[in-house]
Amino acid sequence: MVLFFDTEFTDFLDIDLISIGLVSEDGHHTFYAERSDYRAAACSEFVRQVVVPLLGKWPDRIFTREALSRELYSWLASLHGRVLLACDSAHDRDLLLDALEGELPTNVLARPLSLANYHADPVFNAAESKYFQDNGVTRHHALHDALGLRAGWLGQRG
């Protein structure tokens, strides 16, 4: 199973996870969580203006760092078969591993698939952009960005 994921974080220099979203290739499995205890003072101006206003829509998906780690680990471990993670940024990969305190469930492959170069493909980009347009959502929300990656991936495969 391919699992697309994205994160939102405070700043590139003083990085702290704010939220994480994951979705399976078949769309049947989704996970979203926000941190209640991220370092708000570390947020860049961009994050304060663009990311923070998108938070808090699902109050039951807001966790402390420790609770998010447990929820994410349990959710990943509950998935059947081998899981290949896919993301478009090394920051996302590092933040996911940090959220899991460096411990992946045994069903999750250690090396994620990098989608960083996929954005160079106009078909991928068009399908990803279509997801945002069709659903009336914006980028920089971790779950919607993960769903956008999934749409790009599926669009590229025809």
Domains and CATH numbers, the chain: 2-156 (3.30.420.10)
Token match 């471990």: residue? 77
State mean pLDDT over 122-143.
Answer: 97
The tokens for 147 are 């769903």
Instruction: Give the global pTM.
Output: 0.96
For 29-67, letters b (16+ CB in 10 Å) and e give bebbbbbeebeeeebeeebeeebbebbeeeeebbbeeee
For residue 91, the 8-state DSSP code is H
pLDDT of 127 above 90: yes
User: What average pLDDT does range 62-75 have in this prediction?
Assistant: 99
DSSP of 125-152: HHHHHHHHHHHT--SS-HHHHHHHHHHH
The first and second tokens of residue 128, run together, are: 């990803």
Looking at residue 62, what is its pLDDT? 99
pLDDT in tens, 85-126: 999 999 999 999 999 999 999 999 999 999 999 989 999 999
| Calpha distance 51→73 (Å, rounded) | 24
SS3 for 5?
Answer: strand
- The residue with tokens 């989704």 is 30
pLDDT at residue 158 in the model: 83
